[in-house]
Amino acid sequence: MTFEKIINRKQTGSVKWDMLDSLFGDDTILPMWIADMDFDNPLPVKNALKKMIDNEVLGYTFPKSSLYSAIIHWQAEHHGMRLTEEQILFSPGVLSSVAVTIQALTEPGDGIVIHDPVYTPFAMLAERNHRQVYRSALTIEEGQYRMCFTDIESILKKPDVKLFILSNPHNPGGRVWTREELITLTDLCIKNEVVLVSDEIHSDLVYEGYDCLSPVTLDDHYKKWVVTLHSATKTFNLAGVKLSFILVYDPSLAKKLKMSLEETELDAVNSFGMCATEAAFLEAADWREELLHYLSHNRQTIIDFFDLHLPNVSYMKPEATYLFWFDASLLNVDATELKSHFAEVGKIALNDGISYGPNGRAYMRMNFAVPQSVLMDGLHRIKKVFDSK
């Protein structure tokens, strides 16, 4: 089984493995933090990259029609989207796409709404671009995050608010938003003339029983107000090759985004990213199925472990993503100390909940895209931290 293989990623410039010392103060601890996988890449992707290196000159390149076709095919097959080439724009990463969207569709001082908690860089990029961040706290019902629409509506009504950035599905909670939730949210955005940015980088990593929907597929009218961000890099473990795409139907939004990409030269994307994305979408669909199977086994292992050994620790069962979000408040450790506490006591690197927003303060996030043996090691390290209390 390819996913069982232990791969030594040290000294490869891996953020996850080689930045442990600078970020956690100890390079011997087990990294289960930043969201890339300790799995080898799909063979068809590696072969396509090798073929490119062997046969091509690595000069200036542009997105070929075969890349557009691969994306159009993937989005139709997996997300029910109908796209043309003109509706696809490229940038090096989903985060560059978030930054470009902020710059193209808002002005300094404008308001941007995000959830609390949510993927850390949304707030960071809004703030770096001198926009006002409004956080709408997620509530918890039946162990899962829910949007609070009365709160969202009161924020969207503020005249300075221009953009809502949604993690769809939700990182860090792993929630797959329902059709009703997405419809309510999109309707509220449109009613208040706010563009909805749907970041769908995790949308191909969804567990059985759930369906991650793209707002643009729910109503034709939504296409005017929604910008979708996606990439093959999360699903196929290609974060280092840097390629993402922006899907935009409305010509006036597309024009603004295109202009911003051109102004920054961010539309000049990397040939390895294009090659890997095309191969992944065209030739690695089976690999993704096997990956999901493996990840869902890991997810069950974690749940069984927590239920047996840590029955008082609450957690969110991920409906998507390979991220496990659990409540560490039993430890009575200050939110700002949790990361170093887990590193010192458990010798494990996790993401601390507070970095996702004040509402995440009680939580820790574990990346479980690792071989089973590593997962068991990580779970015992987490148990050690709770046992040491």
Residues that bind ligand PLP (CB under 6 A): 35, 93-95, 119, 167, 171, 199, 201, 231, 233, 239, 244
Residue 171 Cβ, how far from ligand PLP at the closest point, in Å? 4
Q: Which C-beta is closer to ligand PLP: that of 213 or that of 385?
A: 213
Rounded to a whole number of angstroms, the minimum distance from the CB of residue 91 to ligand PLP is: 9
Q: Which amino acid is at 204?
A: D
Closest CA to 178 of 150, 206, 136: 206
State how far the alpha carbon of 71 is from the alpha carbons of 74, 165, 230, in Å.
5, 22, 10
In whole angstroms, how close is the CB of 201 to ligand PLP at the nearest point? Answer: 4
Say if residue 108 is preceded by a cis peptide, omega within 30 of 0: no
184 phi and psi, to 5 degrees?
Answer: -60, -45
Please state the closest distance from residue 119 (CB atom) to ligand PLP, in A: 4
- Short-list 243, 247, 233, CA closest to 205: 233
Q: Which is nearer to ligand PLP, 30 or 34 (CB)?
A: 34
Nearer to ligand PLP, 89 or 331 (CB): 89
Q: What is the DSSP letter of 319?
A: S
User: What is the nearest approach in angstroms of ligand PLP to the Cβ of residue 297?
Assistant: 22
Q: How far is the CB of 244 from ligand PLP (least distance, A)?
A: 5
- Closest chain position to ligand PLP (CB): 93
Give the span between the Cα atoms of 269 and 299, in whole angstroms: 35
The residue among 238, 368, 375, 235 whose CA lies nearest residue 295 is 368
Name which of 241 and 338 has its Cβ closer to ligand PLP. Answer: 241
Considering the complex, state which of residue 106 and residue 367 has its C-beta at the smaller distance from ligand PLP: 367
Q: DSSP per residue over 11-74, as a string?
A: TTT-HHHHTHHHHHS-TTSEE--SS--SSPPPHHHHHHHHHHHHH---------HHHHHHHHHH
Residue number, 231 or 359, with CB nearest to ligand PLP? 231
